[in-house]
Amino acid sequence: MSKLRFAIQLTKRYHQCCYNGWKGGHLSMGYVTARQASTQAETSNNDSFALGLYRGTVNTQQLFPYPDALDNDAKDTVKLMIDPFQKYFSEMHDAAQADLDEAFSKKSLDALKQVGGYGLQAPQQYGGLELNNTQFSRLIEIVGANDLAIGVFLAAHQSIGYKGITLFGNQQQKEKYLPPLVCGDNIGAFCLTEPTSGSDANSIRSTAVLDDDGKHYTLNGNKIWISNGGFADVMTVFAQVPFKNDASGKVSQRVTAFIVERAFGGITSGPPEKKMGVRGSNTTAVYFDNVKIPVENVLGKVGEGFKVAMNILNNGRFAMGVGMTGFIRTLTATAVQHANNRVQFNDKLINYQSIQEKIARMAITHYAVESVAYAVCNNMDNGVKEYQVEAAISKIFGSESAWNVCDECLQILGGMGYMREANVERLMRDVRINRIYEGANDILRLFIALNGIQHAGDNIKELQKALKEPMSNFGTLWDQGIKRSKRFIGLSDSNALLEVTAPQLSQSAGKVTQRIEEFGATVEKLLIKHGRNVIDQQFLLTRLADATIDIYAMGAVMSRASKAIDDKLSTADHEQLLASLFIDEACERVERNLAATLTKQNLDRFSVNNSATKLISSSVLSPTKSSKHKWGTTAKSYFMPTPALNNKNHKTEIITNASSANLKNPSDAIRSKKNECIAAANIVHHRLHFLQNPSNCLTAKKVICDIWRAGMGSTLHHWVYCFIYAYYHKRTLLINLNGWLYLRNVISKDGLRRYEDLFQSISKCPLTPHDMETAEPWKKHFLGLKSDRLPQVVLLASVGTLYELHKSIPNIAHYAMPSQLFYMVTRYKIEPMAWWTGILAQYIIRPNQKLQKFIDLSKAKLHFKSPMVGLHIRRTDKSEENTLFDVDKYMDQIESFYNNQSKKGIHLKRRVFVTTDEPWQINRLKMNYKNYEFIHPPIHHLAARTHSSRYSAKYLMYFIRDVTFLAECDYLVVTMTSNVGRLAYELHEVIYSQSKNHHFTSLDGNYFIFGQKPRYRSPYIMQAIKNCPRQGKQGINVIVGDYLDSCVASITRIKTYHCYSKRLRSKGNILASCLRYLVDNEVYPDYSHTDQLSYSD
């Protein structure tokens, strides 16, 4: 505790050291002795401090004394770069605005050229600055301190984008591509990740096949999550290439790297991804369709693409740790400033011990992360070739420390930290990606441990060999015997750390040495116990990796602090304290992690975790199993509530075997329900026909529906809205097409756009000029008037126009349906309103002979026939409206449908009818799901983005065809926030009226009429979603499925409704948690007298 108190006392001093403007270094990193990298001998793995741990040895060569690779000229160069870079961020680049805009301004990107930001490490002969890794790191630290998003952009461009050309390109490739990339005229990108290939880079599916003439490779495939993918000019792309082994003669697929120009053609980019953080950076999918790549654009050798990719990533990964040092520096400064200014309970936050401890730990963390990061980059400049493990350590340690510091900073700021104004919430969103990209930390942990295990295994092999010839290897065996004897009696085998560490840190050096020897012994025990199978023991490997990271970090801080003491720097005492505190806590973590790999208690705990995971997985993936579990409920009810009783079931419901069979062979009971539903539909159509064809068009009461500028899906739902109003007030619906963009190229001879050009007439009464002249626009006070008090002709403007007039969308029509129909339809429909809306929409778009002929011909050309799954993929340029989903999310539902059928013995050909406004989505589906047959309209029909092509009669016909086909599919996968998806579902509900099972999946929630949530205008009809006992004297008990009529919010009880139970025939209070909303409880006019009339009447 005394050390921690001392650290707290030095917090302000640390703040001054770190945040008052460092021009050449940080604390002891103001490099004193310059050593030329060119004079350094290449070191081997045997000198690696990190890998030596796995043999229980202390290798000090790479860490002691603290590495320093900069001579005076190199220091002067980087000093000249610091001020322009800091000025760029303070004056030219607005990180917060880029986050809001989700793009960088042209001004910012152009200014980056002026400071040489596009070619920091590129060779000078191609226009770059040719900074070494340490110089580059100092500038990346400034980037990390200001905006991680621009850091992603720069890293994607140069650290991995064109890094492959720098490392593996031939002279011709470098001369052609590097100059425009280095100056920023061209932008680079690195294209490796695919939908089925993330951390497993060898499993990519993109292919490149050599043409018969031997001059080009033809590239096909798609990449996802590509930084700069939306505008990159030159990309390093990886694809599988047929490769013939010279020895065996066998042909296999081998990953190969290519330099690909967007100018080659056949390359398209998806829309920018909507990301949690680093939003200023551009991230898209990139699609390659028969891209012709000259053979001279192979990067490296054919078949060695995996090697190229790993070298690029390893080379670029080291900078992430350095970027995190700047990030942590910014957060610590923010926390310190807030704590010094914020007063609570009559004292500043900085004076409270809990805040002091947080800030002290932030300072310690910064020191450790910085020590590790600069040790790695200096060693790279000193000629160390095998630095992959150390770079991975720096990346993990830096990214996770940055996340923890960000969390503590936000905690110190409290509510202010949660607000956008403080910028900490943006920093938290931005930093999270660092634990995922350029090697997920989970994978890198295995990478560290497995490299170390291999290194230790080589040592054991040497010992085994020595044991076979003991006399000739007596010295080796003697050394190993002495080492194990000392370990057995608790003595240290090595004084290596004590010899290179400052005396003031000797106690810390002893602790670290002891942990290293324990680490080596643990690795040896695990190898003896598990043998080669140790590579599958991820529980153990992860903890070995965590211990490795902590020990390496302890070595780095101890070396750096020792250098500060030896050089008599003014910060030496402070650094000594920071190092001691870090080492004390890190030693405890190492001890815990090593114990976790050997003690029975921890291994048993892992076995429990393993069993629990399997149990939970089986419960989630197989919800029909209902075996009892420890927590006292079934897997089905615990993880996935019964779909029919849960109003959020649209996301997970999958058609059952029974309902699938019912589609083809309905039973008598289901056939009866189908007939009832068809009868209900006929009643509605009969009433609509009566309403729309009055005996006297001149005196008939009418509603004119004005059309707005919108897509067909929105327009049609507006018509339905108007139709409900007309039905409620017993009026004839007329449609004013003069403002409608569709049908503009099919104007009739009389100069009017006629509805009948594509559809059957909606009414025998035409819309006349007299109707338009006498129509009274809808007014808010109309809501309180009875039908007979309204004007003869009411004009309903578009919903958007009404919103502008009344500042909120009024309830013109009701979220309700006639009660007689409602209780008839609820017997076989979970969403009666979807059926009701579908009936009205079906009446409106009844095709005329011309349109019906087009639909029939299209059906024949596309071979559209049952069974078929319908899929509508929502436009990805509408992200501002609602959440968007990747095509794989849609396909997950379709896979579940077909797999479920197969489990039940129904083996169907996997056929999917796809509609989308984005043709590139079709190519992606065909590329990634080769076991499916995708039926879709011609590609040139799928283009509703442009104004000129979208609003025409031709594309209106395509729209009606697509919606009709979707509705007729046996199973439907859509999004309910899409008007197209919702309309297809509504029509689908009318067609599949024989079963109460869902035949669809919605990815984004529940169905609400017109896509809006219910207005909850009392009274309304609700349904019980669970059994609920009576609550209080005025309560009534309900059981699952009960319909509750005339519900109103209780005045006396919170979250309670007063309803009429149809089953109990009595009123009472019911808890809101027991109910789900169905429809508004509105009294519609009685049309029963029309039901017996013929159409001629």
Spatial separation of the C-alpha atoms in residues 663 and 999, rounded to whole Å: 10
Please check the confidence at residue 7 and state whether its pLDDT lies above 60.
no
Token pair 């021009």: residue: 23
pLDDT of res. 998? 55
Least confident of 436-440, 685-689, 755-759: 755-759
Please check the confidence at residue 928 and state whether its pLDDT lies above 50.
yes
| Closest to 334 in 3D by CA, of 430, 428, 434 | 428
Q: Which helix (H) or strand (E) holds 399?
A: helix 388-413
Amino acid type, 250: K
Sign of the CA dihedral with 1087 first, then 1093, 1094, and 1097 last: negative
Least confident of 257-261, 696-700, 775-779: 775-779
pLDDT in tens, 408-429: 999 999 999 999 989 999 999 9
When pLDDT is averaged across residues 182-200 and rounded to a whole number, the result is 88
pLDDT of res. 437? 85
Sign of the CA dihedral with 661 first, then 664, 668, and 669 last: positive
Are 555 and 49 in contact, with CB atoms under 8 Å apart?
A: yes
Q: What angle do CA 324, 325, 328 make, to 5 degrees?
A: 80
Which pair of structure tokens corresponds to residue 47? 């000198």
pLDDT of res. 728? 84
Are 803 and 815 in contact, with CB atoms under 8 Å apart?
A: no
Give the burial class of 1014: count Cβ atoms within 10 A of its Cβ; 0-12 exposed, 13-18 middle, 19 or more buried.
Answer: middle
pTM check: above 0.75: no
Most confident of 446-450, 834-838, 1007-1011, 1093-1097: 446-450
pLDDT of res. 815? 66
Inter-CA distances, 554 with 7, 17, 448, 514, 986, Å: 17, 22, 17, 12, 64
pLDDT of res. 199? 67
Token pair 């099919």: residue: 746
DSSP 89: I
Please check the confidence at residue 799 and state whether its pLDDT lies above 70.
no
pLDDT of res. 162? 95
More confident: 2 or 129? 129
Confidence of residue 865 (pLDDT cuts 50, 70, 90): confident
CA 704 to chain centre: 45
Inter-CA distances, 171 with 166, 176, 302, 327, Å: 10, 9, 17, 38
Query: Per residue, what are the HEC states of 107-159?
Result: HHHHHHHHCCCCCCCCCHHHCCCCCCHHHHHHHHHHHHHHCHHHHHHHHHHHH
Burial 47-62 (b: 16+ CB within 10 A, else e): bbbbbbbbbbbbbbbb
3-state secondary structure of 657: helix
Give percent above pLDDT 70 in the chain: 77
Give the burial class of 199: count Cβ atoms within 10 A of its Cβ; 0-12 exposed, 13-18 middle, 19 or more buried.
Answer: middle
pLDDT in tens, 358-373: 999 999 999 999 999 9
User: Is 130 one of the annotated active-site residues of the chain?
Assistant: no
When pLDDT is averaged across residues 745-760 and rounded to a whole number, the result is 60
Most confident of 142-146, 739-743, 881-885: 142-146
More confident: 235 or 690? 235
Least confident of 67-76, 110-119, 881-890: 881-890
When pLDDT is averaged across residues 74-95 and rounded to a whole number, the result is 92
Most confident of 506-510, 641-645, 693-697: 506-510
Confidence of residue 298 (pLDDT cuts 50, 70, 90): very high
Spatial separation of the C-alpha atoms in residues 913 and 866, rounded to whole Å: 10
Which pair of structure tokens corresponds to residue 817? 């349906």
The beta strands (E) that lie in 812-954 are given as 869-873, 911-916, 933-935
Spatial separation of the C-alpha atoms in residues 933 and 492, rounded to whole Å: 68
pLDDT of res. 341? 92
More confident: 1091 or 219? 219
Per annotation, catalytic residue among 261, 304, 425, 438: 438
Spatial separation of the C-alpha atoms in residues 477 and 464, rounded to whole Å: 10
Please check the confidence at residue 615 and state whether its pLDDT lies above 90.
no
In terms of DSSP bridges, do strands 343-344 and 347-348 run parallel, antiparallel, or are they unpaired?
Answer: antiparallel
Which pair of structure tokens corresponds to residue 108? 């910012």
Spatial separation of the C-alpha atoms in residues 288 and 223, rounded to whole Å: 8
Are 791 and 722 in contact, with CB atoms under 8 Å apart?
A: no
Please check the confidence at residue 500 and state whether its pLDDT lies above 80.
yes
Inter-CA distances, 77 with 40, 71, 200, 480, Å: 21, 10, 40, 49
Token pair 């290449």: residue: 42
- Phi and psi for 50 in degrees, rounded to 5? -70, -45
Please check the confidence at residue 1089 and state whether its pLDDT lies above 70.
no
Please check the confidence at residue 938 and state whether its pLDDT lies above 50.
yes
Please check the confidence at residue 346 and state whether its pLDDT lies above 70.
yes
* First and final C-alpha spacing in the chain: 96
Spatial separation of the C-alpha atoms in residues 730 and 690, rounded to whole Å: 10
Please check the confidence at residue 649 and state whether its pLDDT lies above 70.
no
pLDDT of res. 1092? 52
More confident: 875 or 335? 335
pLDDT of res. 166? 95
More confident: 521 or 463? 521
Please check the confidence at residue 1082 and state whether its pLDDT lies above 80.
no
Most confident of 104-108, 600-604, 994-998: 104-108
pLDDT of res. 788? 80
> Is the omega angle on the peptide bond into residue 65 within 30 degrees of 0, that is, cis?
yes
Spatial separation of the C-alpha atoms in residues 780 and 970, rounded to whole Å: 43
Spatial separation of the C-alpha atoms in residues 304 and 86, rounded to whole Å: 40
Are 327 and 424 in contact, with CB atoms under 8 Å apart?
A: no
CA 474 to chain centre: 59
pLDDT of res. 402? 97
pLDDT of res. 179? 96
